Amino acid sequence: MSQLVVISYPDFFKAEEVRLKLWKLQTEYLVELEDAVVATKNKDGKVKLNQAINLPLSGAASGGFWGTLIGMMFLNPLLGVAIGATSGAIAGALTDIGINDPFMKALADKLVPNSSALFVLIRNATMDKVIEQIQSYGGSVMQSSLSHTDEARLQAALTASIPVAA
């Protein structure tokens, strides 16, 4: 079963840095991500979700390919491309895989301006090694489906990295 973890950062770009670090850790087989989305809230309070996969674009590309193939069978490949790409883009825009977009927007709306949050859906992970790699970025756990013990352990590791002002 996948685990959801949402970590907020007081910096606008920090969540993206951590997502890149998690992708690197995924290539090292320390974590298996199902979805990783960065939410940012600009100085005007507008929330933007930065998805890992652009579904409308990939849908349009796939639809264009299949449209061309079908169009060639009926001797009208240009019409096939147009119809295929349009229907693929629409299907991609209507598809929601991974973490629910309205949930992410509602939670990201609670962020302070000029900050970010990382929404991660984790299939599998070597948690002690992953925490060791991301704790230097700091952050606060906003929400998770981890056990209370694991969530407290994660928050303690993230908080320990924050230098205390004298």
Per-residue pLDDT 10s for the chain (166 aa) are 789 999 999 999 999 999 999 999 999 999 999 999 999 999 999 999 998 764 444 454 555 555 565 655 665 566 555 665 565 555 555 444 578 889 999 999 999 999 999 999 999 999 899 999 999 999 999 999 889 998 999 999 999 865 544 4
143 φ, ψ (degrees, to nearest 5): -160, 150
Give residue for tokens 């060639």.
72
Q: For position 1, what pLDDT does the model report?
A: 72
> How many other CB atoms are there within 10 angstroms of residue 56's CB atom?
15
